[in-house]
C-alpha cells in the first residue's frame, strides 16, 4: 500500500453526540464562566481543544482490558501487567503508580528536594514547578533561548542549554541541585522536542556532577517521533527503540499517562535507584494508595498497560502528529502567527502577535480563547501570563515572552473536518482582530491561578457580543 497521507490507522466504532449551540448561548456561557475556558461546562463546547490530557479515545482492546480489572486491594494482576509494559517500553526498574502525573511530581519533589535547593528544567510546567516550590526548591529554566522565540524554526527547541546548566552548577554547587527535570516535547514551548544528542549530553554533564536526571516522560513518544524524522541516524529506527534509548540515559521519570499512553486517568513514577524506590513506596501510601495501585483502579492500570503498547505503534504516532500538522499548516498558509515548527500535541497561536492592540496587562491569550469560543464553540487554553502566574519573589505579574493560545488535539477523537472548523474560525478572527477585547482579572486563586481565575471585559474594552450586530463576525 503506497502511503501518502497521515490518515488514521483505525475506524470509528462508537460516536459521542455533541450539542450544537447558538452564538447567544455561547455568549451567555462564557460570561457565566468568567471568560475562563476552564470554567465552561463541556456540554456547551463543540470542539474541545482545551487539552490532550485524559481526553483521548481508548481502543476496543483497551476497553476489553477494562473488563479484566482485578480490583484486589493489594497485588492486582493489572499492576504486574503495567509494570511489565513500563519495563518493556520505558526500561526503568521500579514502578510506582500514581493517580496522574502531578501525583508522581509530588512524590519526587518531596523525596528529593530540600528547602533552598535549585531544580533546573527545560522550561517550567505549571504543576511540576508548583510541587518543586512547595518542597522548598527554586525552579531554574535552562532551556535554549530559541525556545522563547515563537518564530524560530530550530528543530529541537526543547534542548537544554549546557552553558546555562554549567553556570547554575558553578553558582549554587552540585550538592544544592537534587536533580534535573528533563521534559520531552516541551509543553509550554509549544510541544517542542529535545534531540537525542542533547539528552545524552545533558545527562552526561549532570552525571559527571552526581546530579540525577528525571525525565518528564509525559510526551516522550511524540518526542521520539521527532527524533526519528529530524535527527540524523534515526530514520530507520523504530519509535519503540528510540523511546527506550531516551529513557536509558536518565535515572527515572514522572509520567502523566493521560497523554501519550492513551488513557483517561493515570500516571506513574519510575526509577532505577533501589533506595529511592523504597522511599517512594513508603510515601505513595500516604498520598495516593498502596504501591500496587497508587490511586488507580485495577482496570485503569490494565488500560494503561495496553495504551503504552499502542502508543509506540508507528502508524498511530504518524497519524497523531500528522493531524496536528494538518491544522498547523492550514493556519500557517493563512498567515496566522503560530509557534514554529508545529509541535507534537497541539498548535500554539502567538496571541501577542495575533492581537497587537491588546496590552499584555489585558491578557491577549486569555482574550483570544474567549473570543474563539464565542465564534465557533471551540475551546482552547491560555498558555501565557495567566498560566505563568506571579513572580515568586516580587509578587508582581510576570509576563513571559510566550503569550500563547493552545489548540490541543486529543488523540484519536476528532476528524479532519473538525480541524477545518477550527482553522476557519481562527482565520476569521485573525482577519478581524479588532473584534477581540482585552480582559482584566477579577478573581485570582492562590495556587495555579489559570484553572479558576475569573475575568471581566477590561474597562474601556468591548467583547464582540457588545458590538452592534452589524459589526459582528457572522457564523451560524
Ligand atoms: N507534565 C507535563 C509536561 C504536562 O503536560 C502535565 C499535564 C503534567 C506534567 C501533569 O500531569 O495533569 O496528569 O497531573 N498537562 C495537562 C495539559 C494538564 O493540559 O497540558 P497531570
Q: What is the CATH number of the domain that holds 127?
A: 3.40.640.10
Helix, strand, coil percent content, the chain, rounded in steps of 5 = 45, 15, 45
Alpha carbons within 13 angstroms on the beta-carbon side of residue 397 total 14
Question: Does residue 362 belong to any structural domain of this protein?
Answer: yes
Q: Is 187 in the pocket of ligand 1 (CB under 6 A)?
A: yes
Distance 259 CA to ligand 1 centre (A): 8
Distance 257 CA to ligand 1 centre (A): 9
- Residue 476, pLDDT above cutoff 90: no
Grid cell for residue 299: 482496570
Q: Is 122 in the pocket of ligand 1 (CB under 6 A)?
A: no
Cα–chain center distance at 453: 20
Q: How many domains does the chain have?
A: 2
Question: Does residue 409 belong to any structural domain of this protein?
Answer: yes
Q: Is 37 in the pocket of ligand 1 (CB under 6 A)?
A: no
Distance 263 CA to ligand 1 centre (A): 13
Q: Is 51 in the pocket of ligand 1 (CB under 6 A)?
A: yes
Mean pLDDT of 66-95: 98
pLDDT at 335: 98
Q: Is 109 in the pocket of ligand 1 (CB under 6 A)?
A: no
Question: Does residue 388 belong to any structural domain of this protein?
Answer: yes
Measure the CA angle with vertex 358, ends 334 and 423; round to 5°: 25
Q: Is 185 in the pocket of ligand 1 (CB under 6 A)?
A: no
Domain boundary among 311, 333, 367: 311
pLDDT at 413: 98
- How does DSSP classify residue 143? B
Distance 306 CA to ligand 1 centre (A): 20
Q: Is 380 in the pocket of ligand 1 (CB under 6 A)?
A: no
Measure the CA angle with vertex 475, ends 469 and 476; round to 5°: 105
pLDDT at 3: 75
121 and 196 belong to one structural domain: yes
Atom 11 of ligand 1, residue of closest alpha carbon: 101
Confidence band of 460 (pLDDT split at 50, 70, 90):
low
Question: Does residue 7 belong to any structural domain of this protein?
Answer: no
Instruction: Give me the numbers of helices (H) and strands (E) for the chain, helices first please.
Output: 16, 14
pLDDT digits (tens, 9 = 90+) for 204-213: 999 999 999 9
pLDDT digits (tens, 9 = 90+) for 138-152: 999 999 999 999 999
29 and 67 belong to one structural domain: no
Q: 247: domain range?
A: 60-311
Confidence band of 96 (pLDDT split at 50, 70, 90):
very high
Domain boundary among 257, 276, 311: 311
Question: Does residue 3 belong to any structural domain of this protein?
Answer: no
pLDDT digits (tens, 9 = 90+) for 409-440: 999 999 999 999 999 999 999 999 999 999 99
Other beta carbons less than 10 A from residue 35's beta carbon: 28
- Residue 83, pLDDT above cutoff 60: yes
228 and 343 belong to one structural domain: no
Atom 21 of ligand 1, residue of closest alpha carbon: 101
Distances (CA, A) of 196 to 92, 159, 203, 229, 436: 18, 9, 11, 12, 41
- Residue 257, pLDDT above cutoff 80: yes
Question: Does residue 468 belong to any structural domain of this protein?
Answer: no
394 and 361 belong to one structural domain: yes
Distance 210 CA to ligand 1 centre (A): 28
Measured from the Cα of 185, ligand 1's closest atom is: 3
pLDDT at 466: 45
Other beta carbons less than 10 A from residue 443's beta carbon: 12
Distance 347 CA to ligand 1 centre (A): 16
Q: Is 469 left (phi over 0), alpha (psi -120 to 50) or beta?
A: alpha
pLDDT at 439: 96
Q: Is 128 in the pocket of ligand 1 (CB under 6 A)?
A: yes
Distance 101 CA to ligand 1 centre (A): 6
- Residue 364, pLDDT above cutoff 90: yes
Confidence band of 1 (pLDDT split at 50, 70, 90):
low
38 and 68 belong to one structural domain: no
pLDDT at 468: 45
294 and 306 belong to one structural domain: yes
Probe target for ligand 1 pocket from 125, 295, 348, 369, with the most ligand atoms within 8 Å of CB? 125
Q: Is 218 in the pocket of ligand 1 (CB under 6 A)?
A: yes
pLDDT at 391: 84
> How far apart are alpha carbons 26 and 28 in whole angstroms?
5
Measured from the Cα of 127, ligand 1's closest atom is: 10
Measured from the Cα of 52, ligand 1's closest atom is: 19
Question: Does residue 205 belong to any structural domain of this protein?
Answer: yes
Other beta carbons less than 10 A from residue 140's beta carbon: 19
Q: What percent of the chain has pLDDT over 90?
A: 92
303 and 339 belong to one structural domain: no
Give per-residue burial for 157-175: e unless 16+ CB within 10 Å, then b: bbbbbeebbeebbeebeee
Measured from the Cα of 408, ligand 1's closest atom is: 19
What are the backbone angles phi and psi of residue 348, rounded to the nearest 5°? -110, 115
144 and 288 belong to one structural domain: yes
258 and 158 belong to one structural domain: yes
Mean pLDDT of 113-118: 98
- Residue 470, pLDDT above cutoff 90: no
Question: Does residue 474 belong to any structural domain of this protein?
Answer: no
For β-strands 378-379 and 47-48, DSSP reports them as parallel
Measure the CA angle with vertex 219, ends 117 and 181; round to 5°: 10
71 and 199 belong to one structural domain: yes
pLDDT at 473: 41
Q: Is 101 in the pocket of ligand 1 (CB under 6 A)?
A: yes
pLDDT digits (tens, 9 = 90+) for 175-200: 999 999 999 999 999 999 999 999 99
Q: Which residues are catalytic, by number?
A: 73, 125-126, 216, 259, 383, 450
Measured from the Cα of 102, ligand 1's closest atom is: 14
Q: What percent of the chain has pLDDT over 70?
A: 96
Distance 98 CA to ligand 1 centre (A): 13
> How far apart are alpha carbons 131 and 109 in whole angstroms?
6
Peptide bond into 341 cis (omega under 30): yes
Atom 5 of ligand 1, residue of closest alpha carbon: 187
| Mean pLDDT score of the chain | 95
Q: Is 223 in the pocket of ligand 1 (CB under 6 A)?
A: no
Q: What CATH number does the domain containing 424 carry?
A: 3.90.1150.10
319 and 348 belong to one structural domain: yes
Higher pLDDT, 187 or 474: 187
83 and 210 belong to one structural domain: yes
- Which residue reads 477581540 in cell numbers? 436
Higher pLDDT, 393 or 298: 298
Higher pLDDT, 320 or 465: 320
Domain boundary among 311, 342, 361: 311
Burial class (CB in 10 A: 0-12, 13-18, 19+), 116: exposed
Confidence band of 168 (pLDDT split at 50, 70, 90):
very high
> How far apart are alpha carbons 325 and 319 in whole angstroms?
10
Amino acid at each position: 500500500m503506497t502511503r501518502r497521507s497521515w490518515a488514521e490507522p483505525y475506524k470509528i466504532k462508537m460516536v459521542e453526540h455533541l450539542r450544537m449551540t447558538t452564538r447567544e448561548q455561547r455568549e451567555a456561557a462564557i460570561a457565566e464562566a468568567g471568560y475562563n475556558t476552564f470554567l465552561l461546562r463541556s456540554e456547551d463546547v463543540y470542539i474541545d481543544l482545551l487539552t490532550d490530557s485524559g481526553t483521548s479515545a481508548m481502543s476496543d482492546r483497551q476497553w476489553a482490558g477494562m473488563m479484566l480489572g482485578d480490583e484486589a486491594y493489594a497485588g492486582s494482576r493489572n499492576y504486574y501487567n503495567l509494570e511489565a509494559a513500563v519495563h518493556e517500553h520505558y526500561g526503568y526498574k521500579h514502578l510506582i503508580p500514581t493517580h496522574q502525573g502531578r501525583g508522581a511530581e509530588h512524590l519526587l519533589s518531596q523525596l528529593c528536594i530540600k528547602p533552598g535547593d535549585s531544580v533546573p528544567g527545560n522550561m517550567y510546567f505549571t504543576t511540576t514547578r508548583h510541587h518543586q516550590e512547595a518542597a522548598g526548591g527554586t525552579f531554574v529554566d535552562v532551556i535554549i533561548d530559541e525556545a522563547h522565540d515563537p518564530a524560530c524554526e530550530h528543530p529541537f527547541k526543547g534542548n537544554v542549554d549546557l552553558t546555562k546548566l554549567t553556570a547554575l552548577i558553578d553558582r549554587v554547587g552540585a550538592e544544592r541541585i537534587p536533580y534535573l527535570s528533563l521534559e520531552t516535547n516541551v509543553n509550554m514551548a509549544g510541544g517542542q522536542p529535545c534531540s537525542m544528542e542533547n539528552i545524552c549530553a545533558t545527562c552526561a554533564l549532570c552525571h559527571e556532577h552526581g546530579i540525577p536526571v528525571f525525565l518528564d516522560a509525559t510526551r516522550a513518544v511524540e518526542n521520539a517521533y521527532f527524533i526519528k524524522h529530524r535527527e540524523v541516524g534515526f530514520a530507520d529506527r523504530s519509535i519503540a527503540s528510540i523511546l527506550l534509548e531516551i529513557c536509558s540515559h536518565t535515572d527515572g521519570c514522572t509520567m502523566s499517562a493521560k497523554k501519550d499512553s492513551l488513557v483517561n486517568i493515570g500516571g506513574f513514577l519510575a526509577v532505577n535507584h533501589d533506595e529511592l524506590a523504597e522511599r517512594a513506596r513508603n510515601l505513595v501510601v500516604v498520598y495516593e494508595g498502596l504501591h500496587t495501585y497508587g490511586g488507580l483502579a485495577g482496570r485503569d492500570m490494565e488500560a494503561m498497560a495496553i495504551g503504552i503498547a499502542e502508543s509506540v505503534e508507528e502508524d498511530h504516532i504518524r497519524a497523531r502528529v500528522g493531524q496536528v500538522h494538518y491544522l498547523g499548516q492550514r493556519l500557517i498558509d493563512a498567515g496566522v502567527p503560530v509557534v514554529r515548527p508545529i509541535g507534537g500535541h497541539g498548535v500554539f497561536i502567538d496571541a501577542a502577535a495575533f492581537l497587537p492592540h491588546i496590552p499584555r496587562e489585558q491578557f491577549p491569550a486569555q482574550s483570544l480563547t474567549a473570543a474563539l469560543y464565542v465564534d465557533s464553540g471551540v475551546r482552547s487554553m491560555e498558555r501565557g501570563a495567566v498560566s505563568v502566574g506571579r513572580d515568586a519573589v516580587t509578587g508582581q505579574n510576570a509576563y513571559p515572552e510566550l503569550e500563547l493560545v493552545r489548540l490541543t488535539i486529543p488523540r484519536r477523537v476528532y476528524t479532519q473536518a473538525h480541524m477545518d472548523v477550527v482553522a476557519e474560525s481562527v482565520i476569521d478572527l485573525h482577519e478581524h482582530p479588532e473584534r477581540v477585547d482585552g480582559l482584566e482579572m477579577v478573581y485570582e486563586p492562590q495556587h495555579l491561578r489559570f484553572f479558576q481565575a475569573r475575568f471581566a471585559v477590561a474597562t474601556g474594552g468591548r467583547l464582540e457580543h457588545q458590538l452592534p450586530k452589524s459589526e459582528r463576525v457572522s457564523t451560524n
